[in-house]
Amino acid sequence: MSDTATTPTNATFDQFGLHADILKAIAEQGYTTPTPIQAEAIPVVLGGRDVMGAAQTGTGKTASFSLPIIQRLLPLANTSASPARHPVRALILTPTRELADQVAANVQSYAKHTALRSAVVFGGVDMNPQSAELRRGVEILIATPGRLLDHVQQKTANLGQVQILVLDEADRMLDMGFLPDLQRILNLLPSERQTLLFSATFSPEIKKLASTYLRNPQTIEVARSNSTATNVTQIVYEVAEGDKTGAVVQLIRERSLKQVIVFCNSKIGASRLARQLERDGVVATAIHGDRTQSERMQALDAFKRGEIEALVATDVAARGLDIAELPAVINFDLPFNAEDYVHRIGRTGRAGASGDALSLFSPNERKQLADIEKLIKRPLDVQRLTVDVPVRHHHDERGSRRDRDDRGSRRRTTGAHERTSHGSHHRQQPVDDFFFKPYEPSPSAATRREEAPAAPQKPASKQPLAALLGGFGMPRKTTSSN
């Protein structure tokens, strides 16, 4: 059985009984009033009870579990240099590297005035610096499941003293196939622990996971499950598939967007769109799973500094990106998984700010649109968009092979008669029809072949085959007797 919390009114961080060092860090971050999920979750986590927390992305879930964790571990904080005095006491699992890095940055900010140590480990980077930091000892460990198991296997991480476990964006971890890794990790933890499960959506799989590993959790929902933020304006533009790139350029220019995340469904599509935007004057870069972790972090840092206008991303970036006052996101492709739509548009309108979620819809995406409307339980505003921004099309040496094959076949079938200049500045040179005719031998060549004398034939060998092989026919050397 699980209880549902009620929302306290006019709550402040001072009312939670947090330590002065934590309150000082919160004030330095510029936070004065807790969000609804923080107001409800912090007292429950401080009480030591298991929690199932559901809230819209960008409403402050990270602080709702990291602040009470720091408060609960403060009595065990110490300044000893011995690693044995700093075991892993709190474990926070996240599905993506970006989210792990973001959570770690928040935890470090909230605990910077305390003696608690924190560290983050994720894949895609060298393990040695992570191993060195873990050997020195940390109380709060933020990790992705795969890299954490690597450290466990290398015996650089010991989970035997974990008191608090957090599964952040648990539904995403299940979608990414982390359930076997989660089960292995959970088997390494003490049975007596506090487990906190936070997610933007509650799917049947999440509820099954909670019933297995949580003990009498308290359910905290500050908004209807799978709903979207009311401060995000959602508009769907119906355009032809071939006009989507021009539509993105047009929306960026008409709305004067200096920062926007554009979501694509594939890594190849994200890279191609970023190159096309660059050619049309939009400073853009792509971020997806094929890029190294250092490249992804550099792209994110440049985007946060305002050096990049459009960050073209796959759903790997739909979780964990926390850009202050991001004005808009654009769905170049409607996601195949309707829940990803909720997480994508959650990148804007964070912390109470307003934002725009703009989606491009082509006729072949009707099923995705219907699934999204079914999930959020309301129809979306669909408008027609006339694309009038000229988009320059350049030949791309890394372009689609299909496009190259189609262009080659058209060149072969058009023939010389269709090669006209149409009054262009670069007039094409005339092509001789000789090069399009099948090969025919010239009369002179045929006459020369007929008049050419036949090649002399070699006389047949008069020696038997065996003689050629040395079997017989060679005179034997005889010796004369004295």
pLDDT in tens, 133-192: 999 999 999 999 999 999 999 999 999 999 999 999 888 888 778 889 999 999 999 999
Of the chain, the percentage scoring pLDDT greater than 70 comes to 73
CATH fold for the domain made of 3-221:
Rossmann fold (3.40.50)
- 240-256 per-position pLDDT tens digit: 999 999 999 999 999 99
Average pLDDT estimate for 31-46: 91
Number of helices followed by number of strands (H, E) in the chain: 17, 15
pTM beyond 0.75, yes or no: no
Is pLDDT at 118 greater than 90 in this prediction?
yes
3-221 and 232-384 share one fold: yes
Average pLDDT estimate for 403-429: 43
CB-based contacts of 419: which residues, under 8 Å, 6+ apart?
A: 428, 431
Is pLDDT at 293 greater than 60 in this prediction?
yes
What is the reported pLDDT for 235? 93
HSE value, Cβ hemisphere, 13 Å, CA-based, for 393: 6
- 389-407 per-position pLDDT tens digit: 555 544 343 444 444 444 4
For residue 285, what is the enclosing H or E element?
strand 284-287
Is pLDDT at 451 greater than 70 in this prediction?
no
Is pLDDT at 438 greater than 80 in this prediction?
no
Contact of 273 with 395, CB cutoff 8 Å:
no
Question: Highest-confidence range of 168-182, 268-282, 435-449, by mean pLDDT?
Answer: 268-282
Q: What's the CA gap between 369 and 373, in Å, rounded? A: 6
CB-based contacts of 65: which residues, under 8 Å, 6+ apart?
A: 41, 45, 51, 53, 92, 166, 168, 196, 198
What is the reported pLDDT for 229? 64
What is the reported pLDDT for 457? 55
What is the reported pLDDT for 81? 92
Is pLDDT at 266 greater than 60 in this prediction?
yes
What is the reported pLDDT for 398? 41
What beta strand segments (E) does 138-280 contain? 140-143, 164-168, 194-199, 218-221, 232-238, 260-263
Is pLDDT at 88 greater than 90 in this prediction?
yes
Contact of 357 with 235, CB cutoff 8 Å:
yes
Q: What's the CA gap between 199 and 459, in Å, rounded? A: 93
Domain definitions of the chain by residue range: 3-221, 232-384
Average pLDDT estimate for 343-358: 80
Q: Dig out the tokens for 135 from the structure.
A: 């050997």
What is the reported pLDDT for 3? 54
**DSSP letters spanning 175-201:** HTT-HHHHHHHHHHS-SS-EEEEEES-
Of the chain, the percentage scoring pLDDT greater than 90 comes to 48
What is the reported pLDDT for 397? 39
Q: Which residues, in sequence order, are bridge partners of residue 140?
A: 90, 118
For β-strands 381-384 and 355-361, DSSP reports them as unpaired
- 49-87 per-position pLDDT tens digit: 999 988 666 678 889 999 999 999 999 999 999 999 999
CATH code for residues 232-384: 3.40.50.300
